[in-house]
Structure 1
Amino acid sequence: MESTFKDLRGGASVLDMDPKHTVGGGVEDVYGEDRATEDQLVTPWTISIASGYSLLRNPNHNKGLAFTEKERDAHYLRGLLPPVVLKQELQERKLMDNIRQYQVPLQKYMALMDLEERNERLFYKLLIDNVEELLPVVYTPTVGEACQKYGSIFKRPQGLYISLKEKGKILEVLKNWPVRTIQVIVVTDGERILGLGDLGCQGMGIPVGKLALYTALGGVRPSACLPVTIDVGTNNEQLLNDEFYIGLRQKRATGKEYADLLHEFMTAVKQNYGEKVLVQILQTIMLFDLLAKYGTTHLVFNDDIQGTAAVVLAGVVAALKLIGGTLAEHKFLFLGAGEAGTGIAELIALEMSKQTKAPLEETRKKIWLVDSKGLIVSSRKNSLQHFKQPWAHEHEPVKNLLDAVKAIKPTVLIGSSGVGQTFTKEVIEAMASFNEKPLIMALSNPTSQSECTAEEAYTWSQGRTIFASGSPFDPVECNGKIFVPGQSNNAYIFPGLGLGLVISGAIRVHDEMLLAASEALAGQVTKEYFEKGLIYPPFSNIRKISAHIAANVAAKAYELGVATRLPRPENLMKYAESCMYTPNYRNFR
């Protein structure tokens, strides 16, 4: 076989594979070609790729200066590269040195995106090995600025753009994507990007960023991930008047026109990729309706509601070790009663119900919500949106957050309002006045929209607050002590959840799976972290954390009877780890 390929000058070359992995080896892939790994995949054929100049421009297989002397001869690379041969580790060091030279986060983002377009494995190697440093660059908060300026920095399309122009042809469009086996799709319509509002077609930066994390943090192979933007227009006048805007120049379609396009997309996805493809739908004004509509027919999930809810619940459960008591003994007050706030509240109430065996209607009464009109109370019920109504409890009207804090006396204050600086000095001081250790979670992204900063929370409570935020904050010195704020980032949850769904072949997402993911994350906070006041483990351990979450989620999928990958692996933790993509270079022959 080798001599055959050497005769194909400039043609195909092959990845070096163990003979037992080929058809002639006679080893069957027990779990099928769509298992979550690439490196351990038992492949019934040999993978062919380009050679020579084309190989250096193929990001999936390019290794740059890491091609060995033997590989350079075998694949017609002589003279196309400088003579030095570098190991991947040295390439990584050089690139991290280069990235650290940039002072502007958006420049770091662009440098990383350029690297992904040149050398995919090196990009993921950097991201995995330097996750705490690079996560804020490829994800929140920098990705928000990247979306705002996406038209100006756009170089090469990443993912699929499906607009109203493709109505009636979406299945054909999906077939234009070169990879047939897709396991995870992240789709946005650009209507609600972080706390930045309607960014239309430029919201593509979010699916691209989230899928990079599915691979780096959760181990789903990059080729199995597909970012999609559904472009139905935008109501952002600034973008409509921007000469560099890359989307449809029209007002956002709504109602039947919008619903029909999305239904065609969801139908085409199932037809093209099957029952087991995970579709993560990003924030849109119709999100609750979409999850309700497709939750019974597709494997659908939203990390802004469900993922954030799971990671917040994990933080609350872990914090109980520091503040004492059981979940049901605490009282919660939310600022923000949108989809995210009510989603978090519902998952906390579900866990409380599971622990106490009390009806969900009873556990909801431990949770109060404040929206733009004040405390949600029963006298307002008829004027409330349907997802707010379960939280309308008996109480006299209260107009603002400070008065609500004083009236309800919560032990836990959670911000999901999308409005910055709303946890004022008076609010924090009030929380600290009746709690020895108040738990305060300022979840809104990006940093500018955070309800308060870590420094404000610690300073105004004399260092007694247990604090976590949606965006990262630096450690704070207060009263001679160093406090390390936790980051309640849904990136803790969705990559591991996605991996768990993939390795079990799940066909539906259930709330019990979110609780399983949450419990797995809370279980990774050790005594060492509690002593530092942390309620989340460090991101440096995220691959191990994701494997634990995946194993827990997969176990729940088997228990609920929605897993299709049979037989069930004996050790789900080991199986999850064995299925995780690794970015080390592969040898060519």
Structure 2
Amino acid sequence: TRKVSGSGEELLVDDKDDKKKSPTKVKKTESPSKSKVKVKMISGAQIPWFQDLWFWLFVTTFVILIGVLVYMAFFGSYVCCGIPTKAYGGGPREDIESGEKSQDFNKGPAGARTLFKMDPRRDKMGQRNYHEVTGDNVCPSMIRGIDFIRDPRLNKGMAFSLEERQSLGIHGLIPPRFKTQEEQVKLCKENVERYQEDLNKYIYLVGLQDRNERLFYRLIAENVEQMMPLVYTPTVGLACQKFGLIYRRPRGLFITIHDKGHIYQVLRNWPEPDSLLDDPYYIGLRHKRIQGPEYDEFLDEFMQAVVRRYGQNTLIQFEDFANHNAFRLLAKYRDRYCTFNDDIQGTAAVAVAGILASLRITKSKLSDHRFLFLGAGEAALGIAMLITQAMVKSDGVTAEEAASRVFLSDSKGLLVKTRSKDVSAQKQIFLKDLPHLTDFAQMIEAVKPTAILGAAAARGAFNTGIIKRMAELNERPIIFALSNPTSKAECTAAEAYEHSDGRAIFASGSPFPNFEWKGKTFVPGQGNNAYIFPGVSLAVIASGIHHISEDVFLLSAQTLANIVTQADLDAGRLYPPLTEIQNVSVIIAKKIMEDAYEKDYAYTYPEPKDKEAFLKEMLYDYHYDCALPVHWNYPAAYAGPENQ
């Protein structure tokens, strides 16, 4: 309502929604000289709380904040610069060797629950598209001429077509002959075979990798059984020892203890026994390896820097760490980062796969066997722990009952309870109430094992007497000589078959030739880690798995054992042929992916419907691509007069 007076106009605003409240009166005064209007509150009630904009803004902000906190608490952790926060179901873990408490969270296999989306700067395997000339993105059209053929990821040698040679400015820089990749593979294979020593063959293959990467991988893939021993076990060990002598070109990244505090900066630059220190060709730092807190701080910084630089889903693989460090570092980092130790977990999985396959020969259960190890290092202990886990899952026994069937021995003899003070925490469960024996033959008499496994690099430890005694105790004795290289194997395949009258179930860590015995050809199975870690890594990358549990490696072992055919077993082989290794890797990866999505520890979404096709799409393609940029045509009306 309005009430007009000579001095202005008084507005009476009636609140019709609430009759009990008095009307709000607003006085509007107009100055004679100016047209401005002044409005002021003269009486009445305050604005109701549910009509207050600031109140609802505060409520909305509060609700959003609570929602974010609830999501972080119940659905995962946020990782900033590689330092994870506590997540659902987590808690501090205790270092099993030192007893120290660490801020390791997420005991479950799922780990940090961040959905994984492909970075557009990464390739289909989730790896950075790094190019040594152009930087992060591989774009062939960005470089020309000699730089093009100097890059191993782009170089095709004489397989470049005439059009490619002319367009890229490399015509005349390579011989005028045109070859197919098939012809190149044949020539490279002949070159490898020209050399007598395996180390020289290794040098040639590494040189090929430095010149033409796709040709290198095709040569390996199509000749796996011949080439694998040259680029992997056993030759790679010799190559490491002679690295300073055979060094040609940097591959990988070199980080020293003196880079502590600057590891992230070193990562951004990416485009030891005493005998090594005495080697005049040694190209590392000439001092003893750092130990203690400085060593641990260095590794902590490295792990954080890697995740900061490359992302939370970076898969970090520990290789050749000393026994006293390997287990504690695995326990420390496994629930904080996407990581595994191939020497412990990969070796364990492939050995257990061989044992599971042998059960089809012995017609028995895993818990029916007694396992005696020569060696108690990281490889032997990893196998022993996975065997006990397999017994618990497959046969329903307790962990203590499973451990009672596994016997370990080290350089001081059998692990028994009287030695409890001089063995590490993770070995305590395997201590036995037996006399302290130091001779392996005496251990066999005391334990009466059905299987002996060598992982001590003690050449000839499984001598004639031991093999014959195992054959007397068992109809089909299981003998695994897992040490490598071949010169360190506990026995050869020929010795195992000959001294057991052809009844031994044999597997080795190094390759051995076929053996003829009484008209039968035995094909020794090589327990090569390459059966396991490619499939595991492929599944982890494809599924976005954040933390890799022991269940993943047990599942890998079971899958690998199931792939072995009856024909393989009849030939004495406990593993598929190495020629099938790519297919084996896909099968293992598919099995892990299925388990990951079923148990909710996969974080790549949406879930692939055809997982096998999805995995095969991610495999490396060693065939040549066209080196020229893609060209396409416009309609004639828009193409310009010079293109019509």
How does the TM-score come out when normalised to structure 2?
A: 0.76
Q: Which moved more, 1:375-384 or 1:433-442?
A: 375-384
Tell me which residue corresponds to 1:9: none
| Matching residue's letter, 1:118 | R
Are 1:546 and 2:585 counterparts?
yes
Kindly indicate whether residue 550 of structure 2 is the aligned counterpart of residue 506 of structure 1: no
Where does residue 219 of structure 2 map in the other structure? 126
User: Aligned equivalents of 1:362 and 1:542: distance in 2?
Assistant: 35
2:234·2:486 contact (CA, 8 Å) conserved in 1? yes
Note the C-alpha offset of 1:537: 0.3
Query: Could you tell me which amino acid in structure 1 is paired with residue 318 of structure 2?
Result: I
Structure 2 counterpart of 1:304 = 343
Aligned partner of 1:17 in structure 2 is: none
Q: Which residue of 2 aligns with 1:471?
A: 510
- Tell me the amino acid that sits aligned with residue 276 of structure 2: L
Q: For each residue in 1:219-278, what CA deviation from the matched residue of structure 2 results, as whole angstroms up to 9, or x when unmatched?
A: xxxxxxxxxxxxxxxxx1x32233221011112211011111111111101111111111
The structure 1 residue matched to 2:524, chosen from 485, 490, 508, is 485
Secondary structure of residue in 2 paired with 1:467: strand
Alignment of 1:200-211 (within 5 A): none
Are residues 1:242 and 2:335 paired? Answer: no
After TM superposition, list the pairs within 5 Å mapping 1:369-380 onto structure 2. 369-380=408-419
The equivalent position to 1:457 in structure 2, one of 485, 496, 513, is: 496
> C-alpha separation between the residues in 2 aligned to 1:354 and 1:132?
34
Aligned length: 503
> 1:482 aligns to what SS in structure 2?
strand
Tell me the distance in 1 between the aligned counterparts of 2:287 and 2:167.
Answer: 53
Cα deviations by residue, 1:542-587 (Å, 9 ceiling, x for unpaired): 1000001111222233334332211111222222112111100001
> Does structure 1 conserve the Cα–Cα contact (< 8 Å) formed by 2:144 and 2:169?
yes
Do the aligned partners of residues 348 and 102 (structure 1) sit closer, same or farther apart at CA in structure 2, a change above 3 Å counting?
Answer: same
Alpha-carbon distance between aligned partners in 2 of 1:443 and 1:113, rounded to the nearest angstrom: 26
**Post-superposition CA distance 1:3-37 (Å, at most 9, x none):** xxxxxxxxxxxxxxxxxxxxxxxxxx985544644
Does residue 157 in structure 1 map to residue 250 in structure 2?
yes
1:408 shift after superposition: 1.2
Correspondences of 1:19-418 after superposition (within 5 Å): 33=120, 34=122, 36-37=124-125, 48-178=141-271, 191=272, 198=273, 236=274, 238-285=275-322, 286-418=325-457
Q: Distance in 2 between matches of 1:240 and 1:409?
A: 44
How many angstroms apart in 2 are the aligned matches of 1:38 and 1:250? 37
Work out whether residues 366 and 395 of structure 2, in 8 Å CA contact, stay in contact via their aligned partners in 1.
no
Partner of residue 211, structure 1: none
8 Å contact kept, 1:469–1:486: yes
Shift, 1:301, TM fit: 0.5
Q: Secondary structure at the match of 1:162?
A: coil
SS for the counterpart of 1:280 is: strand
Aligned partner of 2:42 in structure 1 is: none
Read off the aligned partner of 1:146 and give its amino acid letter.
A
CA distance in 2, matches of 1:559, 1:44: 35
Taking the aligned partners of 2:514 and 2:593, their CA distance within structure 1 comes to: 35
What is the match of residue 25 of structure 1? none
Aligned to 2:624: 585
After superposition, the C-alpha distances for 1:99-150 in whole angstroms (9 at most, x for unaligned) are 1011110110000011011001001010111111000100111111111111
Contact 2:373–2:408 (Cα < 8 Å) also in 1: yes
Question: With CA pairs under 8 Å and 6+ residues apart, which has the higher RCO, 1 or 2?
Answer: 1
Aligned to 1:435: 474
Question: Over residues 308-347 of structure 1, what are the superposed CA-to-partner deviations in whole Å (9 max), with x where a residue is unaligned?
Answer: 0000111111111112101111111111111211110110
User: 1:173 offset after TM fit, Å?
Assistant: 0.4
**Alpha-carbon contact 1:35-1:502 (below 8 Å) kept:** no
Q: Distance in 2 between matches of 1:239 and 1:38?
A: 36
Q: Is the 8 A contact 1:330 1:366 kept in 2?
A: yes
Give the distance between the partners of 1:254 and 1:64, measured in 2 at CA: 47
Provide the rounded CA distance (Å) in 2 between the counterparts of 1:35 and 1:56. Answer: 22
Match of 2:112 in 1: none
Does the aligned pair in 2 maintain the 1:136–1:142 contact within 8 Å? yes
Q: Kindly state the Cα deviation for residue 70 of structure 1 after the two structures are TM-superposed.
A: 1.5
CA contact (8 A) 2:241 2:276 kept: no
How much has 1:386 moved relative to structure 2? 1.7
Q: Which residue of 2 aligns with 1:187?
A: none
Structure 2 alignment gaps of length 5 or more: 1-115, 130-135, 629-644
| Residues in 2 aligned to 1:524 and 1:373: alpha-carbon distance in whole angstroms | 39
Identity %: 43
Question: 1:429·1:461 contact (CA, 8 Å) conserved in 2?
Answer: yes
Relative to structure 1, the CA distance from residue 115 to residue 392 in structure 2 (aligned partners, 3 Å threshold; closer, same or farther) is same
Give me the whole-angstrom Cα distance separating, in 1, the residues matched to 2:500 and 2:258: 55
SS of corresponding position for 1:95: helix
Contact 2:277 2:287 (C-alpha < 8 Å) held by counterparts: yes
Q: Secondary structure at the match of 2:425?
A: coil
CA shift, 1:46, in A, is 6.3
How high is the TM-score relative to the length of structure 1?
Answer: 0.83
1:49 is displaced (CA, Å) by: 4.0
Amino acid of the structure 2 residue aligned with 1:166: D
SS at match of 1:441: strand
Provide the C-alpha distance between the structure 1 equivalents of 2:345 and 2:384, rounded to a whole number of angstroms. 11
Structure 1, gaps ≥5 residues long: 1-28, 179-190, 192-197, 199-235
Question: Contact (CA 8 Å) 1:57, 1:118: kept in 2 or not?
Answer: yes
* Cα distance change of structure 1 residues 44 and 91 upon mapping to structure 2, 3 Å threshold: closer
Q: SS of the counterpart of 2:572?
A: coil
Q: Is the 8 A contact 1:35 1:579 kept in 2?
A: no
- State which drifts further: 558-567 or 245-254: 558-567
1:260-304 CA distance string (max 9 Å, x none): 111111110111111111111113231111111111111110111
* RMSD of aligned alpha carbons: 2.0
Rg comparison, structure with higher value: 2
In 1, Cα distance between the equivalents of 2:256 and 2:176? 47
Q: For residue 533 of structure 1, what is the aligned residue in structure 2?
A: 572
- 1:399 deviation in Å? 2.5
Distance 1:317 1:168, change over 3 A: same
Task: Assess, with a 3 A threshold, how the Cα gap between structure 1 residues 35 and 527 changes in structure 2: closer, same or farther.
Answer: farther
Determine the structure 2 residue equivalent to 1:562.
Answer: 601
